Copies of this chain bind each other. A is one copy, B any other.
Amino acid sequence: MSQAPAINHQVRLAARPVGLPRQSDWRFTSEPVREPAEGEVLIKNLYLSLDPAMRGWMNEGRSYIRPVAIDEVMRAGGIGRVIASTSPRFAVGDHVSGTLGVQEYWTGKADDREAALHKVDPALPLPKYLNALGMPGMTAYFGLLDIGQPKPGETVVVSGAAGAVGQTVGQVAKHKGCRVVGIAGGKEKCDFVVNELGFDACIDYKNGSVREGLKQHCPKGVDIYFDNVGGDILDDVLAKLAMKARIIICGAISQYNNTTPVKGPANYLSLLVNRARMEGMVVFDYADRYHVAMAEMAGWMKEGSFRSREDIVRGLDKFPEALLMLFEGKNFGKLVLQVADET
């Protein structure tokens, strides 16, 4: 950084959205890139993770993480390259994962708690660290294994099957000997999870009845349901639970943009009839075991028994419209915003 300082383009939260976020809920700003002070690093952002959870961070009020403040740079996980450092922890050229924000550069303490920077190995494609080897993968792995406790031969159903979390849930469940049924929107996504990822079946909720699909593909009922969507699909699965079933509540993308109250699961008394349980999880609780999950899944990737698909959109300015793709089911695979070239 011996030249004149570069410009850092940023996307800030301008207003708390009502329903789907609109262009006017965002403000594009720019400021000079800040040089690292003592103990700090400067990172050039390469890939940003676009996640359904972002919608929740935009709301006011108590949740598992503080809301993004008005005028603050929008929170986002990302992968970047260290381009200046005064910290012994990171060297120029290192690739790092962390909470880098929807912007082109990040400057801050190497040990900043919110950023939670850590090095990643560029031997694997970098976007994988926002997918199976990142938060979605960790969510899938620990939600399925710790909360779901799958046993070989059990039937696992996952919604959002072609999405970031769903891809990993299904493949980890297959590795653990389960029968896996996905739920996804459209033939192309369903074909992908069956033919490319090895799910046993996939129900296309856009072209048919989920209830009929469950009847056909889960003749012994659903032992584990990993719920990413909520709404009617959650109710359909509740109606097909096996005894002692476990439901992992990971998200409810169908409800995040509601301007009316959330639709609670009307069939929740199926929990009683089936002695079943529904449990929520937040991935951060498993941080001290991320390395275990990453090692196991990276191993499967290297041996070719685990795949993941990303849907990469280019350009920081595309952030607002790219985010909407998630809520319309338009992304195919983990949605990633590329904000700079790798080299």
- B-binding residues in A (CB < 8 A): 62-64, 230, 235, 249-252, 255, 261-282, 285
A285 vs B282: C-alpha distance when bound (angstroms): 31
Can you sample 7 A-B contacts with CB below 8 Å?
A: A261-B266, A263-B264, A263-B266, A264-B265, A271-B280, A275-B279, A277-B278
Residue of B nearest to A272 (CB): B280
Kindly report how many copies of this chain are found in the complex they form together.
2
User: In whole Å, how far is A140's beta carbon from the nearest beta carbon of chain B?
Assistant: 15
**Across the interface, do A275 and B268 meet the contact criterion of CB distance under 8 Å?**
no
Q: Is the CB of B282 within 8 A of A275?
A: yes
When the two chains form their complex, are residues A249 and B271 in contact, meaning their CB atoms are under 8 A apart? yes
Q: How far is the CA of A278 from the CA of B264 in the complex (A)?
A: 13
Asked whether, in the complex, the Cβ of A268 is within 8 Å of the Cβ of B273, the reply is no
**Closest chain B CB from A63 CB (angstroms):** 5
Kindly list chain B residues whose C-beta atoms are within 8 Å of the C-beta of A251: 272
Beta-carbon contact of B271 and A279 below 8 Å: yes
Closest to A63 in B: B273
Residues on B with C-beta less than 8 A from A264 are: 235, 263-268
For A147, the closest partner residue in chain B by CB is: B277
Q: How far is the CA of A262 from the CA of B238 in the complex (A)?
A: 13
Measured CB to CB, the nearest residue on chain B to A268 is B264
B265 touching A275, Cβ below 8 Å: no
Q: Are A249 and B266 in contact (CB under 8 A)?
A: no
By beta carbon, the residue of chain B nearest A260 is: B266
Bound together, the chains give a CA A335 to CA B262 distance in angstroms of: 36
Alpha-carbon distance A272/B282, docked complex (angstroms): 7
Chain B hits for A249, CB < 8 A: 268-269, 271-272
On whether the beta carbons of A266 and B276 are closer than 8 Å, the reply is no
Known interface pairs A63-B273, A64-B272, A264-B266; 12 further A-B residue pairs with C-beta atoms within 8 A, sorted by A's residue number = A230-B269, A251-B272, A255-B269, A262-B269, A264-B268, A270-B280, A272-B280, A272-B281, A274-B280, A275-B285, A277-B278, A278-B278
Q: How far is the CA of A270 from the CA of B56 in the complex (A)?
A: 13
> When the two chains form their complex, are residues B281 and A269 in contact, meaning their CB atoms are under 8 A apart?
no
CA distance A261 to B269 in the complex (A): 12
Contact A275 to B269, CB < 8 A, known contacts A235-B264, A263-B264: no
Question: A241 — nearest CB in chain B belongs to which residue?
Answer: B280
Q: In whole angstroms, how far apart are the Cα atoms of A266 and B269 in the complex?
A: 14
Q: Smallest distance from the beta carbon of A107 to chain B beta carbons, Å?
A: 31
Task: Find out whether the CB atom of B271 lies under 8 angstroms from the CB atom of A278.
Answer: yes
Cβ 8 A contact of A266, one of B262, B272, B279, B281: B262
Task: Give Cα A267 to B252, complex, Å.
Answer: 12
Residues on B with C-beta less than 8 A from A270 are: 280
Give Cα distance in the complex from A84 to B325, angstroms. Answer: 75
Rounded to whole Å, the gap between the CB of A230 and the closest CB of chain B is: 8
Contact for A277 among B262, B263, B279, CB less than 8 A: B279
- Nearest CB of chain B from residue A247's CB, rounded to whole Å: 9
User: In the complex, what distance in Å separates the CA atom of A265 from the CA atom of B268?
Assistant: 8
Q: Specify the chain B residue showing the minimal Cβ separation from A270.
A: B280
Bound together, the chains give a CA A255 to CA B269 distance in angstroms of: 10
A266, A267, A280 — which one has the most chain B CB atoms within 10 A of its CB? Answer: A280
